[in-house]
Structure 1
């Protein structure tokens, strides 16, 4: 597993309310808009993929520097989705695929429902149907029943050190948690993700609201009939952070065109953990030679 960084890029930012939303564009080919952090996510996609696709990484408000004090009204889900549209206009994009990893998968899906004329494909990576108590309880049960003792021992050790991390860097609480959750996040349970997070801004109130409330209550079936793009759902066998893959079964019939792919040697981030296979699956799904940007 390698971490990709330093690829030739176009870098810029867009002011949205009190936030400066960064973007980073790398590669050539069919455009793929990747929602999340313009610093973190370029490190998780392969260099080879940039030879086939134009990867457009954009911040949302959870990862963007705030130039002024922000309020609850500045961090709602609708505002985040509006920011994606602002960025589309700013970058002059007309037709593209949109990809979201983890909770960002909901951003990708909901944006595609609102702007079907601009979205050719939707890719959701490591995303559960919701972050509801019911779904997360099933994730906990999967962990208890299937995780190896060695994996659980690593998890217990990492969790014992989390409180000291947060005390030392309270503004990086969300980042520290995700790094310490490695045994539930990665196929290789002792993988250290610190390098992926280096230099990444994290606004804790945004994540508390979106992950703790919005994605807890989200109903992905709502307005699904407005979706015209095909959807790829990429899941990792060793992902214990989100609901088990089986929880998607009751939603499959609600999608007009859904492709599900399981990555057997991945956890939460198959684009990094099994990059060659992920690239193959993604390119086959997008079929970029037949899509006009």
Structure 2
């Protein structure tokens, strides 16, 4: 059973969804999208709190760039923590939302017991993005590349129909970069998700490009779980994280039959690995 509620943070309506019972895990991102990715089994072990950020929240006033810096996102998370009366929590960030989770843990380490980072690159710089594209061209199968060309050809008509949902349509049409099963159609997972493109563009294009997670994680003391998909070409290659091999507080797990969403693609193994790590103490 899931319960949905909303809060107003500095002029943004942020929804959150609570599912399951037990130790709380705050999943930063979309309260609509992320509950669809985690298994029912996982929510039987923990209380999952799926929280919108401003990129997926409804604004109640006119906003400008100063309203959606990474620092603002961090303060929204802290506001939510206080409202939900959470302490000593586990914070999780998937893909670009990992940058938000790390930024929060840096600002408020006293409230973070552990951190989960899933399918993220170490930076979102243009250089790294090009590196991931080059990796796809070098290592993806011919069939995968053909599927991608078919899918991406549909993007133009998507954008003409719904330009305000560009982020969503890009994610769907990049399926061959995103899934072990490159024929998987992720449309249903994005139903009802409406991004604020001005905010999304700034965060993914500017704010995350300025971050280096390897450097930041090195200075954080809490246990950190880094989960990566072998076939996740969006943030490839997994070797970007090799520098963490000798970092004692970081556990890196590579899901060999997953792309960008191992919690959806390999749910049993994902649950097994993450539950065991959380319960280590």
Q: TM-score, normalised by structure 2?
A: 0.96
State how far apart, in whole Å, the 1-side matches of 2:278 and 2:271 are. 10
Provide the C-alpha distance between the structure 2 equivalents of 1:222 and 1:262, rounded to a whole number of angstroms.
Answer: 21
| Aligned match for 2:145, one of 135, 152, 162 | 152
Quote how far apart the aligned CAs of 1:251 are: 4.9
1:132 Cα deviation (Å)?
A: 1.3
Other-structure match for 1:35: 28
Give 1:116 shift. 1.3
Matched, 1:271 2:267: no
> How far apart in 1 are the matches of 2:12 and 2:196?
11
The aligned runs of 1:70-219 (5 Å cut-off) are 70-219=63-212
Give, in angstroms, the shift of residue 70 of structure 1: 1.4
Q: Deviations over 1:125-146 (max 9, x none)?
A: 0001001122222211211111
Is the Cα contact below 8 Å between 1:129 and 1:243 reproduced in 2?
Answer: no
Q: C-alpha displacement at 1:188, in angstroms?
A: 0.7
Structure 2 spans left out of the alignment, 5+ residues: none
Count of paired positions: 281
Q: Does 1:62 align with 2:55?
A: yes
Partners of 1:248 and 1:280 in 2: CA distance: 22
The offset of 1:219, in angstroms, is 2.4
Moved more, 126-135 or 79-88: 126-135
Alpha-carbon offset, residue 220 of structure 1: 2.5
The Cα of 1:224 is off from its aligned counterpart by: 4.5
Q: Report how far residue 256 of structure 1 moved.
A: 4.9
**Shift of residue 221 of structure 1?**
4.9
Unpaired segments ≥5 residues, structure 1: 1-7
Cα distance change, pair 186–221 in 1 and its aligned pair in 2 (3 A): closer
Range with bigger deviation, 39-48 or 66-75: 66-75
1:235 partnered with 2:228: yes
For the residues of structure 2 that align with 1:223 and 1:135, how far apart are their CA atoms?
Answer: 17
Q: In structure 1, the residue corresponding to 2:27 is in which secondary structure?
A: strand
SS class of match (1:227): coil
1:243, distance to aligned residue in structure 2 (A): 3.4
Structure-2 residue corresponding to 1:3: none
TM-score normalised over the length of structure 1: 0.92
Instruction: Tell me if structure 2 keeps the 8 A contact 1:22–1:64.
Output: yes
Task: Write the distance in 1 (CA, Å) between the matches of 2:74 and 2:185.
Answer: 31
Deviation, structure 1 residue 179: 0.5
Cα deviation, 1:48-95, whole Å, max 9, x if unaligned, reads 111101001100001111222211111111000110000000111011
